[in-house]
Amino acid sequence: MSGVLDHDVDLYSDQAAPHRLNDLSCAHDRKSMFDRDGFLVIGKAISIERTQAAIQAVDDLIDGMVPDFRGVQFEPGHGDKSELKSDARRRAVRKLMRFVDFDPRLHELAYDTDLLAVVSLLMDGQQPHLFQDMALLKPPGGSEKPWHQDMAYFNVPIDTPVIGVWIALEDANVDNGALRMQPGSHLLGPMEHFKRRDWQICDTQIDRGRDLAVPLPAGGALIWHGLTQHGSPINRSDQRRCALQFHYRPASTQETTSEERMAIYGGDVRGAEC
């Protein structure tokens, strides 16, 4: 659950990450940077035309143009969602879930061969399998996504090289909720998570002031390791910040259980303080 609750101002820094690769082809000789930092920033991952087509696809799904699609989630508040007119509805949506089989424009981005080649490289040559797709819209006033590790959400063995790919469809900047990353934090291993403002790392466990913001132009991408600590603050601007997020794991991965996952990540389960 995500709420409208505010967060400490110094929980997220505005200092921008220093390294940005031009395009996906540049990632091929930057695996050592990924292994060190736990993420790579790509200035231009997809063309303007494909970016605009993807935004249109997202807005079509929000507008109900695909009748069988049920994956729309709203920000808290906004009253009766069925009463919202198109523009207000687009500005009230928090996320879309599981859309790749409902729109070919989004499907082709998730299975883009240049992107999958980079993902495979970061998995040491294993074959990537897409197992989660989301659009994260962060409208004006949209909620924080507190600090977390994606691995705390997935029932996979702890050493699985899960790779997250986040593609900005609209410009992301420090005011509208660009992602924040803790460089090198994947090397610290799994962190206990707690149900607080969301399923998250305890605020007191965050190394404040060490994190880097990742502003991106539309069409840019951020690619990270499943253990890299990351989050995004509330959108304090009047601009929406729409992004696609895909998660890949090796095709050979054997699923574990929620109990096994909670034994590793479940802070409350173990009676830990937060």
Ligand X SMILES: O=C(O)CCC(=O)C(=O)O
Nearer to ligand X, 15 or 25 (CB): 15
- Scanning the structure block, which residue is given the tokens 């970061």? 122
Residue 252 CA, chain-centre distance (Å), reads: 23
Nearer to ligand X, 145 or 240 (CB): 145
**What residues numbered 193-252 form the site for ligand X, per CB under 6 A?**
230, 232, 243, 245
Q: Is 209 exposed, middle or buried (0-12, 13-18, 19+ CB in 10 A)?
A: exposed
Please choose, from the candidates 11, 10, 1, 4, the residue with its C-alpha nearest in 3D space to the C-alpha of residue 229: 11
For residue 16, what are its two tokens? 């921008």
Q: Does 145 bind ligand X (CB under 6 A)?
A: yes
Nearer to ligand X, 118 or 151 (CB): 151
Nearer to ligand X, 245 or 256 (CB): 245
Q: Are 103 and 91 a contacting pair, CB within 8 Å?
A: no
Please choose, from the candidates 245, 24, 261, the residue with its C-alpha nearest in 3D space to the C-alpha of residue 154: 261
DSSP category for residue 172 = B
Nearer to ligand X, 126 or 229 (CB): 229
Q: How far apart are CA 156 and CA 150, in angstroms?
A: 11
Q: Does 75 bind ligand X (CB under 6 A)?
A: no
Please tell me the count of residues contacting ligand X according to CB under 6 A: 10
Nearer to ligand X, 102 or 154 (CB): 154
The 163-182 contact track toward ligand X, x by CB under 6 A, reads --------------x-x---
**Which of 89, 91, 138, 193 touches ligand X by CB under 6 A?**
138
Radius of gyration, CA atoms only, the chain = 18
The 50-69 contact track toward ligand X, x by CB under 6 A, reads --------------------
Q: How far apart are CA 66 and CA 98, in angstroms?
A: 13
The 98-137 contact track toward ligand X, x by CB under 6 A, reads --------------------------------------x-
As measured in angstroms, the least distance from the Cβ of 250 to ligand X is 19
Q: How far apart are CA 173 and CA 185, in angstroms?
A: 22
Q: How far apart are CA 38 and CA 19, in angstroms?
A: 13
Nearer to ligand X, 62 or 136 (CB): 136
**Which of 150, 170, 198, 211 touches ligand X by CB under 6 A?**
150
For residue 216, what are its two tokens? 């991106």
Q: Does 89 bind ligand X (CB under 6 A)?
A: no
As measured in angstroms, the least distance from the Cβ of 179 to ligand X is 6
Q: How far apart are CA 14 and CA 16, in angstroms?
A: 6
Nearer to ligand X, 57 or 169 (CB): 169
Q: How far apart are CA 192 and CA 150, in angstroms?
A: 12
The type of residue at 183 is P
As measured in angstroms, the least distance from the Cβ of 101 to ligand X is 20
Binding site for ligand X (CB under 6 A): 136, 138, 145, 150, 177, 179, 230, 232, 243, 245
